[in-house]
A and B are shown apart, each in its own frame.
Chain A
Amino acid sequence: MSGPEACIQIHDVYRTFKSNEVIHGVSLNVYNNEIFGLLGPSGSGKTTLVKMIAGIDEATSGRIEVMGTQMPKLEMMKHIGYMAQSDALYMELSAKENLEFFGSLFGLRREKLKKRIHEVMELVNLTSHLKRTVGHFSGGMKRRLSLAIALLHEPEVLILDEPTVGMDPVLRKSIWDEFDHLSANGTTIVITTHVMDEADKCHRLGMVREGSLIAVGTPDALKEDTGSATIEGAFLYYGGVRA
């Protein structure tokens, strides 16, 4: 490996809401094709950070570049797939209608749109529920449909905010297999999670606590450096609680 190229570059980013600073000078590189996990408790600033990467929010100061383009930039939106913490679906519409709507926003048409809808629904194992009204879906099904929408336009960069909440372990595993598959085929994935065992599956991890990045590294390296057996132990170490 002759130095992987950075797909996402975050340089000294601060974010202030009114007078409340929620991100304190985060700098970070996410490399091409990697699955990068942002690990931290709720309220630590993960969502704010990924929103800024996705170009929905703007940093108060500092710079964020995705594929060499400074964010936020409207043209970059079609290269990014974003899945928010809330499912953000139209409950009155069927799964298919939801997919068609968002697919059209990304410029997918007719045959291509049909093909992609079929592929993503297969992936999240919802093909048989295509025509059902989303309002009748269970929490986990909504989460999967939301993920399917994020994947629909085959984005180069996937930003997923807690994507596997409420999914059963079997499905969660198959979703993670798909993440590995996507990453092997050139997609860069940023995932936020507060589940420690899920963090283990990421190629590299960034630990976020109270708006600061407290550690970055591969899960193994983080465990080794702190002499702990688990990611949780490493998090405690960097968080200032030396066990």
Chain B
Amino acid sequence: MRIQALIIRIIRQFIRDKRSIALLIVAPIIVLSLMYLVFNGDTYQPKLGTLQLPSAISQSLSTNGAIVSTYDTVDEAEAALANQEIDAIIQLDGTTPHVKLEGSDPARNRSVMMLVQKIMQEQAPALSQAAQPPAPVFDYLYGAADMSSFDNFGPVFIGLFAFFFVFLIAGVSFLKERTSGTLERLLATPLRRWEIVVGYMVGFGIFTGLQAVLIAGYTIGVLGSLMVGSFWYVLLIMLLLSLTALSFGTFLSTFANSEFQMIQFIPIVIVPQVFFSGLFNIESISPWLRWLVHITPLKYGADALRNVMIRGEGWGSIAIDVYVLLGLSLIFMAANVLALRKHRKI
């Protein structure tokens, strides 16, 4: 009897908790849909640049699913490769195909290599009358043949963890301020709303700075993730990513009434970001979903981290990402100042 009463009470409570029902049903559907779209999107078409390649081979590359661009000079092709317009340059060195890969994404490298090997098998009789087709030579602009997926994903993961934990902790702390009544007490002092927001950003900013040093140091120093560029840039990007998470978390906490409701934001705002952060090829995401990439803070952070850590690039290639992260932080902070109006108009 008592158990029955308990069950009924739980059912009644749960039915009144619309948010938990939504989390239980809507969120998994959203996440599963995203995974479906991410993994079942178009297969990746390698983008190849050709240098004085026989047209038969170029055509065969196209019909096998590559996007082929023709270049006249080595410089043009190299520039396109460095700008990631193409994934590899193919030229013939006598009868030996020479392939130069961009190299920072093992998945792309593989897809280029597979395609080239397949074409060589097909074209072998046309190229030379020899029974054995010459083995293609591969070299790399960035990275190396032994670059692991972790080297590739490492920068994304450190960005992701920095973002996720800061988001949660900052969000929950700000929420606690509200549920414990201390926010009301703060608002009964001459403290301005923007001062509260800035105070939180700076106070937590100190800890996120520490976190950035620890995570980046551990990944690079202990786990031995590939690291070509400047450690200071890595710290700068991570700090900005954390600040974005901080402002985003405190802002979203305005829409939660308990710690539990804060947790419920994870599948809505964190998990989708993982998909768009660069762990998966953005080009294989369904085109109608691709625009989402441009509003995910994690994507900018991860892109910049990859540029520094794998490609060893400098300020020029991360400047835009840095400005976007800074801009997003400021937008979320301003939104938070406005959201606090709910508690005090002035």
Which residues of A are interface residues toward B (Cβ below 8 A)?
54-58, 72-75, 77-78, 80, 82, 84-91, 102, 105-107, 149
Contact = CB atoms under 8 A, between A and B. Distances in A.
Interface in B313-346: 343-346
State the majority secondary structure of interface residues on B.
Answer: loop
B73 interface: no
B124 interface: no
A89 B345 contact: no
B180 interface: yes
Contacts of B191: 105
Contacts of B344: 55-57, 72
16 contacts: A54-B188, A55-B346, A56-B187, A56-B344, A72-B344, A72-B346, A73-B346, A74-B192, A74-B346, A82-B188, A84-B181, A86-B184, A88-B180, A90-B180, A102-B185, A105-B186
Contacts of B192: 74
B188 A56 contact: yes
Interface of B: 180-182, 184-192, 343-346
Given A56-B343, A72-B345, A90-B182, A78 B187 contact: no
Contacts of A80: 188
B187 A102 contact: no
B78 to A, nearest CB: 58
Nearest to A105: B189
Given A75-B190, A88-B180, A82 B185 contact: yes
Contacts of A106: 189-190
A85 B190 CA distance: 20
B149 to A, nearest CB: 42
Contacts of A77: 188-190
A107 B190 CA distance: 9
Contact of B189 (A57, A85, A102): A102
Contacts of B189: 77-78, 102, 105-106
Contacts of B186: 105
Contacts of B184: 56, 84, 86, 88
Contacts of A74: 190, 192, 346
B346 to A, nearest CB: 5
B185 A88 contact: yes
Contacts of B346: 55, 72-74
Contacts of A88: 180-182, 184-185
B180 A86 contact: yes
A133 to B, nearest CB: 15
Nearest to B344: A56
A86 B187 CA distance: 14
A142 B133 CA distance: 84
A62 to B, nearest CB: 15
A58 B181 CA distance: 18
A113 to B, nearest CB: 14
Nearest to B345: A58
Nearest to B186: A105
Nearest to B187: A56
Nearest to B182: A88
A217 to B, nearest CB: 29
A72 B346 CA distance: 7
B204 to A, nearest CB: 15
A80 B189 CA distance: 8
A88 B182 CA distance: 4
Contacts of B180: 86, 88-91
A213 B346 CA distance: 27
A54 B346 CA distance: 12
Contacts of B182: 88-90
A65 to B, nearest CB: 15
Contacts of A82: 185, 188
B146 to A, nearest CB: 48
